Structure 1
């Protein structure tokens, strides 16, 4: 029955028997036969079959995360119990500030603890990384917490909170963040991103009408635009722009401070020692950084 469960997951993810068959090296009729066996065994229909599409019905949507969990548990029976014994590839997705900040700092410790693991690092924005974990294309995503609940088959692990600050070119005078935001050109953190949504909400709550001059989704690129005099911006204190040599003014928001929360996301059924080890290394480095961070 494990074979039928694996095929069921592929059909559910692809949406057609033919497409799932191409991925599995099976004919459409073979996939259809396996799904009939599974439905007969369970005593319920799992799909609303319409034309070429195979859409999960209520029973199918209920069965999908359970099938994934069963497949994951079966796979873990043959896995080593220690990260040092693990051999294989981990596909890790991360937002840009984590790729240039925390992740490279934590990886040497992970490499010592799990020397036989090969890492494939995938860049992306939080929403895209979340979709890739959900689709099984990534083992782990390091991202910004979304403004909505995650699917129940995904596990969310808190990592850290990063406060936003106002940054300005060096020649811009004044220390009132609200006045500067109202008067100066604004380089906006992409409002479609999770971090950018936090900025947009802050501006709405403060009843501020800013003068947008640019909109980008890369924090380091935004900091560079401000450094070159193109405007002011609201950015999290994270990544290379904050840790490296800074040629911008940084103004704390005080009682107006808002934060973005960093989380790790993985599929519950795919948790294993190498991933736990990586999360421990990230947590240890974050704790070390928090203890050594000096005030501005």
Structure 2
């Protein structure tokens, strides 16, 4: 039985779609469907049924999936143990989009130089999605915001960067009062379902500011570009990215102290990929240090 087929079955179940599973592993939906059919022929039972636009496990499928998760994880760990001394193997990294578009490319460039035999698999998602995926054993490390709850003792956390909440405004408004800008200018809101967006919303409530809201979106890079184009101002974490370095925006400190957005690396202490994880942490720290050099709030 092909363990890759089992891994793709789990991906179909977790994503709810053969098309999405195929997109993530870089094959066609037809190829994934053939793999599932091959498993069904070998096991002698149907594993999935269609429910509208999604697929769900059959009763037999649920039983198989429960065992398959452990088998896939144990095989992956066995490979990692075998290759650990060779500084190779696969490192599965989950990341929030902000990190993917800022520090991660530089960190991965350094990592690839230090561990040329290692294969890296990257998945993007929200912090909570990444935490859940890490718990299931489908990721080795997550570059994410620190969870809003106490971490289990089985996990380790390494802080990479603290980002204060600042007012993002067109450069021509750099000397204006930040609260006045938030009250006067069109407002581009950072998604309130995300950590930094919640912090911004709490600040506005505390300061009794009701902005003239025109947009709400979940991409800090897109918000910075919209501010650069003069579409309004925003209240968001102060990110550092080469994608925003050339934009004409001012990052204005708030008059009241706020809790910064903290993001870093989360991993399981007992991971068999400890050597690769330690190497990735070193590379990420170096990238953060290089990115912060010269980055000052105006």
1:282 is aligned to 2:293: no
Counterpart residue number, 1:161:
162
Question: Would the aligned equivalents of 1:93 and 1:138 in 2 still touch at CA under 8 Å?
Answer: yes
Counterpart residue number, 1:216:
217
Where in structure 2 are the equivalents of 1:1-296 lying within 5 Å? 18-19=60-61, 21-23=63-65, 75=78, 78-80=81-83, 82=85, 85-172=86-173, 175-240=176-241, 243-270=244-271, 272=273, 273-290=275-292, 292-295=293-296, 296=298
Per-residue deviation at 1:23?
A: 3.3
Question: Would the aligned equivalents of 1:169 and 1:226 in 2 still touch at CA under 8 Å?
Answer: yes
Provide closer, same or farther for how the CA distance between residues 231 and 77 of structure 1 changes in structure 2, counting only shifts above 3 A: closer
Per-residue deviation at 1:134?
A: 1.6
- Structure of higher CA gyration radius: 1
Question: Would the aligned equivalents of 1:161 and 1:259 in 2 still touch at CA under 8 Å?
Answer: yes
Question: Would the aligned equivalents of 1:79 and 1:86 in 2 still touch at CA under 8 Å?
Answer: no
Counterpart residue number, 1:33:
none
Give deviations 1:193-225, integer Å, cap 9, x for gaps: 111111112222222222221111110011122
Per-residue deviation at 1:88?
A: 2.0
Note the aligned Cα RMSD (angstroms). Answer: 3.4
- Structure 2 unaligned segments of length 5 or more: list them: 1-9, 15-56
Provide closer, same or farther for how the CA distance between residues 124 and 208 of structure 1 changes in structure 2, counting only shifts above 3 A: same
Provide the C-alpha distance between the structure 1 equivalents of 2:165 and 2:242, rounded to a whole number of angstroms.
Answer: 13
SS at match of 1:256: coil
Provide the C-alpha distance between the structure 2 equivalents of 1:122 and 1:246, rounded to a whole number of angstroms.
Answer: 28
Per-residue deviation at 1:254?
A: 4.8
Provide the C-alpha distance between the structure 2 equivalents of 1:157 and 1:86, rounded to a whole number of angstroms.
Answer: 21
Which 10-residue stretch deviates more, 248-257 or 224-233?
248-257
**Residue correspondences, number:** 241
Give deviations 1:231-261, integer Å, cap 9, x for gaps: 2102222243775201223322255354110
TM-score by length of 1: 0.69
Question: Would the aligned equivalents of 1:166 and 1:235 in 2 still touch at CA under 8 Å?
Answer: yes
Question: Would the aligned equivalents of 1:89 and 1:117 in 2 still touch at CA under 8 Å?
Answer: yes
Question: Would the aligned equivalents of 2:81 and 2:272 in 1 still touch at CA under 8 Å?
Answer: no
SS at match of 2:187: strand
